[in-house]
Structure 1
């Protein structure tokens, strides 16, 4: 089966800047892959992340390195050995899933024996800013089901209080993006309980998260930057209660499903998230989202313009893409 592979850089400007403890983003730089065979093509997207030593140029070079194998018919299972986990493999893996579905004229969910993707509640993010600005942002989200608060070490108590005061009803995820210490986790836990926070996401740097071993937190802690692939689960289960599955970390839907299986077998709860990205990243992630207690897939909702036919958000609920967009016919 001869194929052709094309990979390119795409840039999606954001409608408003996105701030976390590590910096500010105003453009989503992604890698888009298209794999064609016999007049049918599949698409996939990856978002290289500097936190993991990735770049768009590096991802494109990785993809070029497997061009011969992919065009020669390498399978998704073979891809897991050909490429390392990360954004580059994610783009190729998802393109292969899309191609397989369209050639078979069956949805990816059907190929997996799953029901069709449905609308799902997603976290709506309040970006890191002053408590006053975060309060205003949260007031506009007071009616959504789930809010995610980006915080740092400057004044997390005031940041979280401002959001909860403005939005008393939604469930809340607090995400320090590795910026806290174990002392701050222990000190702030009573506040999180008092403010009815549902989940604390990756408070410690991944290289320092051994400090979480033996902790029995009243608010569950999710692994994000510490969690990449199924092989990480044994170590994660000693430190965390929830695993955040992102396709750009696992290296595609294939490995994401394996991580979900391993995490559930270890008794861990599931969350799925994304980078700031287009709907082409979110469409496959919605398959994982159906298994998750926490969903954080609002990445495309930050863009000033997205792909036609992509996901649609309304009041904190994400509607799946239109038929034929990705993984469907």
Structure 2
């Protein structure tokens, strides 16, 4: 509510990190709606999210921990609207590109996220981000010190400095 009061125009997402009970979920959905939250990520623990198959949630739901590999996709497609792919969890950029295609073929939106990590970990995720509907690549922000040639965050864009790519050009992607 404090963020929304200061920046009412910004997209806002909530990551419950598998921490909600069904009662808490039911209580929070109207609050999140009132605040204009545009996405709720992983409200229930893996295995406890089957109830989502019977809920018509007005806020798009994103699977994170519930999607580990293609075998999870049928259940995830019945429960969620978005799949968050993290290169750290899925096996790297090549595997993430393959998974993104399968997720999209299943009719779901694709998101790229990250763990806390340096700009070197964000660079390949930045490439995947060009194909995604949602991008959350803020890992270096939480570090006391990043790599010398790190990414930069300016005006809602993620900028990969030329040193990351080994050439003089600069690339930018929406956060």
| TM-score where L is the length of structure 1 | 0.49
Does the Cα contact within 8 Å between 1:182 and 1:212 map onto a contact in 2? no
- The answer for the alignment partner of 1:124 in structure 2 is none
- The answer for the alignment partner of 2:72 in structure 1 is 232
Question: 2 CA distance for matches of 1:318 and 1:196?
Answer: 24
Please identify the structure whose Cα radius of gyration is greater: 1
- The answer for the alignment partner of 1:183 in structure 2 is 23
After superposition, give the CA deviation of every residue in 1:15-50 in whole Å (9 maximum; x if it has no partner).
xxxxxxxxxxxxxxxxxxxxxxxxxxxxxxxxxxxx
Structure 1's 241 and 211: CA in aligned 2 closer, same or farther, altered over 3 A? Answer: same
- The answer for the alignment partner of 1:268 in structure 2 is 108
- The answer for the alignment partner of 1:258 in structure 2 is 98
* 1:168 lines up with 2:8 in the alignment: yes
Q: CA RMSD in A?
A: 1.5
Unaligned runs of 5+ in 2: 168-175
Question: 1 CA distance for matches of 2:23 and 2:157?
Answer: 36
Range with greater deviation from structure 2 (208-217 or 273-282): 208-217
More strand by proportion, 1 or 2? 1
Alignment: residue pair count: 167
2:84 corresponds to which of 213, 234, 244:
244
Question: 1 CA distance for matches of 2:72 and 2:95?
Answer: 12
Question: 1 CA distance for matches of 2:161 and 2:22?
Answer: 41
Question: 2 CA distance for matches of 1:281 and 1:229?
Answer: 20
- The CA deviation at 1:309 is 1.9
Does the Cα contact within 8 Å between 1:230 and 1:255 map onto a contact in 2? no
Range with greater deviation from structure 2 (225-234 or 259-268): 225-234
Does the Cα contact within 8 Å between 1:222 and 1:241 map onto a contact in 2? yes
| TM-score where L is the length of structure 2 | 0.89
- The answer for the alignment partner of 1:195 in structure 2 is 35
SS in structure 1 of the partner of residue 78 of structure 2: coil
- The answer for the alignment partner of 2:172 in structure 1 is none
- The CA deviation at 1:166 is 2.5
